[in-house]
Amino acid sequence: MRYRISELAEKCSVNKETIRYYERVGLLSKPSRTNAGYRIYPEETVHRMQFIKRMQDLGFSLAEIDKLLGVVDKDNERCMDMYDFLNQKVDEVQKKISDFKRIERMLINLKECCPDEKSLYECPIIDILMNEEKNSKM
C-alpha cells in the first residue's frame, strides 16, 4: 500500500502539515514523488509515524525520538554514544513509572473525595499529598 500525504495523515491521525514538518526537521526522510512532485509514502512510514506519536505521547522530544530512529535508519552519527543515551533514558523511564504509580494513587484518592461524582469541595488527602512532597527527596 502506498499513500499520498493526506492519506498518510488520515491513517496516522495527524495533520498533513505535521508530516511535511517532520520531513523538514529530518524525522521522516524525503519520500519518493510522482511525476508531478506529489509525495508518495510506503506502509513503513505509517509504522514510523505511529512510533513517533507513541514516544511523543510519553514525553520524548522530537530530538530524542530522532536519536532513537538513528537505530532504525542504521545511521552511524545518531548511533554514537547510544549506550549512554539508552542508559539515561532507561533511568528516566523507570523513575517516571514509579512517579506515575504514585500519581495514579493520588488521583484515585482524590476521585473518592468527589461527593456527587461531579465536583470536589474538600479533600483531607490533599494535605497528605503536600506532605508527601515535603518528605520526599527530589
Which residues would be at the binding site for DNA (CB under 7 A)?
Answer: 4-7, 14-18, 20-21, 33-39, 56, 61-63
**Would you say 32 and 40 are in contact if contact means Cβ atoms under 8 Å apart?**
yes
Q: Which three cell numbers stand for residue 20?
A: 511535511
Quick one: 116 or 133, whose CB is closer to DNA? 133
Length of the chain (residues): 138
Residues that bind its own copies (CB under 8 A): 13, 44, 46-48, 50-51, 53-55, 57-59, 68, 71-72, 74, 76, 79-84, 86-87, 89-90, 93-94, 96-97, 99-101, 103-104, 107-108, 110-111, 114, 117-123, 126, 129-131, 133-134, 138
DSSP classification of residue 132? H
- List the single partner that 39 binds among DNA, its own copies, none, CB under 5 to 8 Å by kind: DNA
C-alpha cell at 34: 510522482
Q: Distance between CA 20 and CA 23 in Å, rounded?
A: 5
The DSSP output letter for 2 is: E
Minimum distance of DNA from residue 61's CB (angstroms): 3
CB closer to its own copies, 5 vs 123 = 123
How far is it, in rounded angstroms, from Cα 97 to Cα 105? 13
Task: Compute the least distance from the CB of residue 79 to DNA, in Å.
Answer: 20
